[in-house]
Amino acid sequence: MCLAIPGRIVSIEDDDPVVRRGRAEFGGIVREVALACVPEAVVGDYVLVHAGFALNVVDEEQARITLEYLKEAVGDLEDETDQA
């Protein structure tokens, strides 16, 4: 089973369409993501990310609902990083 997590784009470092990259925030954790598959995405958009690749843009409400379900299932993402 594959799982894509919604993250909010906080920056875009490389705007070349082939190697477009940026940083996305996931419940307080910021990671680099590939944005080549979502050329329409801009800073502030929510994207679904799987294995470091943003696969599509989702609206903020859908991202919030998904994050709430994940929080119920596995707990708060910030809590997990505190234990590491």
**Tens digit of each residue's pLDDT (9 = 90 or more) over 32-75:** 999 999 999 999 999 999 999 999 999 999 999 988 888 888 77
Which residues, in sequence order, are bridge partners of residue 48?
6, 56
For residue 77, the tally of other CB atoms under 10 A from its CB is 15
Q: How far are the Cα atoms of 10, 63, 82 from residue 28, in angstroms, in the given order?
A: 11, 14, 11
pTM of the model: 0.81
Q: What share of the chain is helix, strand, coil (3-state, %, to 5)?
A: 25, 40, 35
Give me the numbers of helices (H) and strands (E) for the chain, helices first please: 2, 5
What was the pLDDT predicted at 73?
Answer: 83
What was the pLDDT predicted at 76?
Answer: 63
pLDDT in tens, 4-24: 999 999 999 987 888 999 999
C-beta of residue 50 within 8 angstroms of C-beta of residue 38: no
- The answer, yes or no, to whether residue 79 has pLDDT greater than 60, is no
What was the pLDDT predicted at 78?
Answer: 57
Domain 5-83: CATH architecture, name and number where available: Roll (2.30)
- The answer, yes or no, to whether residue 81 has pLDDT greater than 60, is no
